[in-house]
Structures are given as C-alpha cells and as structure tokens.
Structure 1
Amino acid sequence: MLIGYARTSTLEQLAGLEAQQKELEATGCEKVWSEQTSSVSKRDKLAEAMSFCREGDVFVVTKLDRLARSVRHLGEIIEALEGQGVGLRVLSLGLDTTTATGKLMLNVLGSVAQFEREMMLERQKEGIAKAKAEGKYKGRKPTARLKSEQVLALISEGQSKRDVARELGISERSVHRICTSQH
C-alpha cells in the first residue's frame, strides 16, 4: 500500500498543501496524512502515518524537506520505516528505497547534505574570526550582566533565583553567576 504524507509550515501555504495532497493521490496513495506545522514542532500526523504503515508498504512524500528537519532526523525516520519493513519514496527526487539504487542514492544525498552543512559552519567560523580580527565582531550583547543590579536587588528582597530569572527574562544560571560574582 502507498501511504502519503504532506506538510506545510504555515496556514498561508494552503495551496502548497493541496498541491502535495493531489500529487500523492495521483501517485496512487490510498491514505494521505496532512498537517500544517513547522518542521521543528510536534508532528502528530507524521507519527500517525508512520504507525499506520505495515510491512511491504511504501511511505511517500513529495519532497524530502516535507519529511525531515535534518540529516539525523531523516536517518531516524528511515530507520523506523525500515524496522517496520516499509520503503520510502520521495517523488521530487525519483527516489525509492525499496530498490538498491534508491538506498544508495539516499545515503549519498544524506552525506552530501551533511558535508554541505559542515562546510557552511566552517565558512561561518572563518567569517567570525576575520570579523573579530578586524574589530567588527563583538559577539552578542551580555544581556544578563546588564541586569546585575536588578538581580541583586530582587535577591536581597528575598526572591528566589528562579523567580528572579523568570521576572527578568534571563536564565537561572545567569542569576547564579551574578550572585556568586558579588561574594
């Protein structure tokens, strides 16, 4: 059985969701789960669709970015599907893990994506080092330290560190650091 999953990030992307649903149905998906939620939010319909799958089924998505938020997350999804004896088909890539070539291509794509991310992080690190050397990069403003007087005043009034942190919008660790640096 072909089982489809469609997702868009926001409510404004309704046309994109409908287009995915139509493409999945045209491909022959008998059941299609759809949801509008960001990739980092809890995705209940994805979990439902995956748990519906049975051995021999194929899980179908229109694009890889509709399914996974990262290479690691993709790996987890594939591992879960493989554990159930379920294949994965990504329509935009012509990828089907029920074939040996499809499995190879998925591994290559995952490796390329990971390499790309590592290169981006390396370039970012180099850019920051260059900006620091030129005196253009100062890092983020130390927001918690700017609130030191307020922290100490609230602590002296008897408030707990947790309450102070919550009230001032800083971490409990920052409150603790400010208090210990004053002793």
Structure 2
Amino acid sequence: MSGALIGYGRTSTTEQEAGLEAQRRDLTAAGCAKIYLERASAVSERRVLRQVLDYVRDGDTLVITKIDRLARSTVNLWEIVRDLDAKGVGLRVLNLGGEVVDTRSATGRLILTIFAGFAQFEREMMLERQREGIAKAKADGKYKGRKPTARAKTADALNLHQEGKTPTEIAKALGIGRASVYRIIEAAAGSNAQNAVL
C-alpha cells in the first residue's frame, strides 16, 4: 500500500530559526506531503510529535532529517519505531552517515540501530564532559550556576497579573514558563496573607 510521506522537524527552544527552516527545506525536497515542525527541547513534552504519531496511517512513511530530531535515546527511538510498525508506518532518516535509511528494510533497521547507539554514546559523553567541567569550575570557585530568570522577573510578573493578564499571557510576555508565573503569584498571595495575619 502506497501512502504519504509525512515530515517532522524539531529544534530546541534555544536554537536558531535557521535550523527549523533547513529541516523544512530538506523535508520538502524529500517529497513530504505534510510537514510538522516544533520548537521543544529533547527533554520537554513534544506535543507536535504526538500529533504526528497520531496522524500517520497505514502505508505512510514518517520522514526526519536526523535521529536526534525525533528521539531522546536509542530506547526511545525503538519505542517510536515499534509504535509506527504497529500502525503500518515506516520511518525514513534523510541524513544518516550520508545515506537515506528506511526502517522498512532489514538493512535500514540495522544501520539505524548502529547510528542511534553512536548518537546516544556521543550525547552521554558530552553530558559527562559538561558535568566534569561544572565540577572543576565549582572546585575552583568559578561556577555561578544558571541565573534565576523567573525570580528576576517577579515584579514584572506581579504587575502584569494586577493588570488582569492571564498566567499564559504573562509567561509569553516575559519569556518564562507558565509554572513559574503560577509560583510567583502563589508566593505573593501567601506573603500577603501572612502580612495580613501579622
């Protein structure tokens, strides 16, 4: 059964727009009939990916540019491939060691397994080097940690809240998470209640 090519692209929230556009271009060139794009870190919830996995049908092929745009780990990759298999959907990776790899063939699955293992190993090595760097910086007294972005914007968040803005609008305006906005509002309400008692 011949189905459609469905493209999926992702960049982390910190990456440039150009990364997303490059994936769109490659997916379009590959002949994708429909393309889904999202900005989400590898560890955050990926709502658009969930939509894609719900959308694809028997005979379709999900097309991605690179493994790390789709999966967090080798295990996660094979969970996705298993779910696609159950729906009769193939997975095609456009840039895997210079080759186009399709899970509909045994060779494609083998190559995908090998490269996914390398990608996970590389990611783990990078995280290990990062942890070692942080430990060294702490030992040298040079590590400052991340700046508390949301805390620094507490006054602005409370001002917007008093103006009647919703937590979603405040989060968008200040570039912080909605959960952070709720924490700021709740902390302020608790502080006001405590002051009233005193």
Task: Answer whether TM exceeds 0.5 for this pair.
Answer: yes
Partner of residue 48 from structure 2, selected from 11, 20, 45: 45
SS at match of 2:27: helix
Percent of aligned positions with the same letter in both sequences?
52
User: Which residue is 2:106 aligned to?
Assistant: 100
Alpha-carbon shift at residue 109 of structure 1 (Å): 2.4
Q: Please give the per-residue CA displacement for 1:88-120, whole angstroms capped at 9, x wherever unaligned.
A: 1110112111122101211222344556678x5
| Whole-Å separation in 1 of the counterparts to 2:55 and 2:90 | 13
Q: TM-score, normalised by structure 2?
A: 0.57
- Provide the aligned length of Structure 1 versus Structure 2: 131
With normalisation by structure 1, the TM-score equals 0.61
Q: Secondary structure at the match of 2:10?
A: strand
* Residue 55 (structure 1) aligns with: 58
Amino acid at match of 2:27: L
Cα deviation, 1:24-49, whole Å, max 9, x if unaligned, reads 01110001111111111111110101
- Give the aligned partner of residue 30 of structure 1: 33
* Structure 2 residue aligned with 1:143: none
Equivalent of 1:9 in 6, 9, 12: 12
Aligned-residue Cα RMSD (Å) equals: 3.0
Alpha-carbon contact 2:62-2:89 (below 8 Å) kept: yes
| Structure 1 counterpart of 2:71 | 68
Structure 2: unaligned runs, 5 residues or longer: 140-186, 188-198
Distance across 2 between alignment mates of 1:85 and 1:48: 17
**Which residue identity is paired with 1:105?**
I
Call closer, same or farther: CA 1:113–1:33 in 2, change over 3 Å.
closer
Q: AA paired with 1:103?
A: R
**Structure (1 or 2) with the larger CA radius of gyration:** 1
Q: Which structure 1 segments of 5+ residues have no match?
A: 137-166, 168-183
Letter in 2 for 1:56: G
1:4 partner SS = strand
CA contact (8 A) 2:68 2:119 kept: no
Q: For the residues of structure 2 that align with 1:28 and 1:49, how far apart are their CA atoms?
A: 17
Corresponding residue for residue 83 of structure 1: 86
